[in-house]
Amino acid sequence: DTGVSQDPRHKITKRGQNVTFRCDPISEHNRLYWYRQTLGQGPEFLTYFQNEAQLEKSRLLSDRFSAERPKGSFSTLEIQRTEQGDSAMYLCASSPRLAENSYNEQFFGPGTRLTVL
Amino acid sequence: SQQGEEDPQALSIQEGENATMNCSYKTSINNLQWYRQNSGRGLVHLILIRSNEREKHSGRLRVTLDTSKKSSSLLITASRAADTASYFCATEGGSEKLVFGKGTKLTVNP
């Protein structure tokens, strides 16, 4: 499967614990995005990378959240001291290098569903 | 924050009927995209329409865009049970990120 993969698919944790999610984008896609989706809502942007550089962060990304893409390939999203309000589906997407006048179609992974008890 | 709203929030039709979903947004855009999400799964890109386009087709999908009204519609013709899913519009305004609406939940009954 050459699509975007995410690991784990499900994570149950207790409040106060730290969790880390991984995203492997489609190879050669230089842009990688993280979104969060709560029940009944559309995905909300968290952050995105171009290669290893984190170029934009949403206000939703509090100090407890950190994302990295150290070698410009896979990315990790860590949540420290989890809260019940962090329970959501965390989606990763990637897109290829944009040629001039091309547009940003994003390819999504299956998501990691986080439940904080 | 969500960019806009899809309408209706839920739609139930019979197989073979057409399904129309509408999306409104608030700010200027470079393009608008429609995605499908099966229950509990990731999103699948369906179609992209640029801000200078008014209509686009892809198979059984037809998308329109009215930038003066800041609205778009997605028409699925001859629906199938496999079309049952949530459909989201997403706008891109030049900042790379997509801004999604809340989605329309479509149920196609066999």
B10 touches chain A (CB under 8 A): no
B58 touches chain A (CB under 8 A): no
DSSP string, B59-104: TTEEEEEETTTTEEEEEE-S--GGG-EEEEEEEE-SSS--EE---E
Determine the pLDDT at residue B3.
Answer: 60
Residues in chain B with CB shorter than 8 Å from the CB of A48 are 96-97
- The residues of chain A scoring below 50 in pLDDT are 100-101
Cα–Cα distance for residue pair B99/B106, rounded to 1 Å:
21
Of A48, A103, A111, the CB nearest to B42: A111
Are B76 and B19 contacting, i.e. CB atoms less than 8 angstroms apart? Answer: yes
**pLDDT tens for chain B, residues 1 to 110:** 456 678 899 999 999 999 999 999 998 898 999 999 998 788 999 999 999 999 999 999 999 999 999 999 999 999 999 999 999 999 987 777 889 999 999 999 99
Determine the pLDDT at residue B76.
Answer: 98
Determine the pLDDT at residue B4.
Answer: 65
Determine the pLDDT at residue B41.
Answer: 81
Of A41, A91, A104, the CB nearest to B92: A104
Subunit contact B30:A40, Cβ cutoff 8 A: no
Name which of A5, A41, A60 to mutate to probe chain B: the one with the most chain B Cβ atoms within 10 A of its Cβ. A41
Determine the pLDDT at residue A78.
Answer: 97
Are B19 and B78 contacting, i.e. CB atoms less than 8 angstroms apart? Answer: no
Cα–Cα distance for residue pair B8/B68, rounded to 1 Å:
21
Residues in chain B with CB shorter than 8 Å from the CB of A40 are 102
Cα atoms found within 13 Å of the Cα of residue A110, Cβ hemisphere only: 10
CB atoms within 10 A of CB B18: 12
Subunit contact B99:A45, Cβ cutoff 8 A: yes
Query: With 0-12 CB in 10 A as exposed, 13-18 as middle and 19+ as buried, what is B74?
Result: buried
A10-13 and A112-116 as β-strands: parallel, antiparallel, unpaired?
Answer: parallel
Residues in chain B with CB shorter than 8 Å from the CB of A44 are 1-2, 100
Name which of B29, B41, B43, B51 to mutate to probe chain A: the one with the most chain A Cβ atoms within 10 A of its Cβ. B43
